[in-house]
Chains A and B, each alone.
Chain A
């Protein structure tokens, strides 16, 4: 890309001091986000994807949190920025929607007021103008009879409607980046499709970039332009949607892809799961974090691999695996599909 990235994250680290020791939730994450692109950050619970996203807006700040690295947005450093600076960016430049629409709206304020509140925090407009804009936003996200419902309370809406309200809220100040943290996880499948569709439409209309945090590869396939796969606080692979789905380079990605139920193959007796459990974020094994669960681990894996371009394919396709490129090509196929071999099956 010749254009400067909208958001540049370099070596982001987030640690929490707890009774059980220092927990390293985010361990050196670097990413670029271009204007108008949808970047999916995929990983299981505890991978650090949500913490990374929320740290961009300073929402993980607490007395026992420690931050490293930089996240530069249009020349402004977000990590460690002052409250005043961050408040100007939140909502106005970078907006966020959260996982649980049931609890993310204040139950005692009308939804119209909650949207107007954000508008008036950034623009000096009258109450009436803010209200008009709220109604407009509700209409854009597809809330029927928006003019009446702007005075309703959150508990009068269903889950899917509330998430739309959240989207309306997030986009009300026309931000350049929308961070969506598991936006459909708490909704049922039929509503999911509508919400994802809405996000894509709004991206097309407004040109906002989207960081989509999710654990659901189906959602990724539906929306993403580029994908970053996270494991135990690190990005283990990143590339375009096609690169990740068709030429994945990291064993963890193989495991993720292999564990999805697919229409185009016979139903297995059990869905292949990745053996073992994610590591505790408090005590880290040295080297590759995935090593204990990887059937292809070998000597070199006790050194931490950097995230870099290692093999064939476009230069933007990065991964953290010491295996040689042709070994990867060979090993990533199980029974004709992409997947991770079970530990007993792998050749020594």
Chain B
């Protein structure tokens, strides 16, 4: 097991390095034109351009620029082109909001998915099963920012049942904190509840027909024991790991649009606003951190999977 962990960690470091290179290259190689010109604004003077180039290092070779950008990011010194704000500081401030959004949604969707998944598997073919399948399919077909915006408008702005967006810090008022997060949590969960309950349903139906469930029954276990110790336990393994991956994906960037629509001022919204202004440093940094986070979480999930399913440890 230890060897497995070490191997995964080493692979992780390599991938992280590759990610940093690629993210950097995306913003280096793709854009046509001269970045200094873009920054200088209208009617740039040559010496102005030269100054900008020197200041930002656009005149240096790529390798140096890469090293410099990485240094800036990791020492927390990278500043936005347009606002001159320190990007890393801003991210640190916004991160807890994104974290709570993602975590709350992840727990919510998992809870509902397990309930729905179990229900639809037990009643495969019955009307409840079909209804939930339809809901799941609709959930997967909706853009989260659209349904979020509509929820915010109708339930928040018009009906006043929920607040009209915004985020309240937990320290100030726990109840308000939850109150403000309920709608975003729901909007974000809708997408995943569908996927996960159908996934669990499919796994459960597969597992129920497995030979070892028949053996468990022949042992004289109660249906409940069979369900928990054999059916659920085995069905949930791939799902828990998938959940970990999706949680990472949501945290790493999927929550962006939800934050925007509900005005939660999280990392995602920061990225969105930077994109609107074509401000590169925040987008670069957030993309990189987002990917980093996912890779780290993936590695963690792999290790947990090996822990849950002993067959994996051999490979």
Contact = CB atoms under 8 A, between A and B. Distances in A.
A and B touch in the complex (CB under 8 A): yes
A344 interface: no
Given A90-B217, A98-B215, A108 B223 contact: no
B68 interface: no
B234 interface: yes
B233 interface: yes
Interface stretch (A12-20, A38-46, A117-125, A196-204): A117-125
B309 interface: yes
A105 B215 contact: yes
A117 B229 contact: yes
A57 B309 contact: no
A91 B219 contact: yes
Interface in B204-263: 210-212, 214-223, 225, 229-230, 233-234, 237
B225 A121 contact: yes
A118 B230 CA distance: 13
Interface in A44-82: 57, 59
A92 interface: yes
A96 B221 contact: no
Nearest to B125: A63
Interface size class of A (residues with CB under 8 A): 20 to 34
Contacts of A92: 220
B214 A59 contact: yes
Contact of A107 (B212, B223, B225): B212
Given A104-B215, A106-B216, A108-B308, A87 B233 contact: no
Contact of B220 (A87, A98, A104, A155): A87
A169 interface: yes
Nearest to B207: A106
A88 interface: yes
Contact of A105 (B212, B221, B229): B212
B212 A106 contact: yes
A49 B310 CA distance: 35
Given A100-B211, A105-B212, A106-B230, A121 B221 contact: yes
Nearest to B221: A121
B93 to A, nearest CB: 43
Contacts of B311: 107-108, 153, 155
17 contacts: A57-B217, A57-B218, A59-B214, A83-B222, A88-B220, A91-B219, A91-B220, A98-B214, A104-B214, A104-B215, A105-B212, A107-B234, A108-B234, A117-B219, A118-B220, A121-B225, A166-B215
Interface of B: 210-212, 214-223, 225, 229-230, 233-234, 237, 308-311, 314
Among all A-B residue pairs, the 3 with the closest Cβ atoms: A90-B220, A91-B220, A103-B211
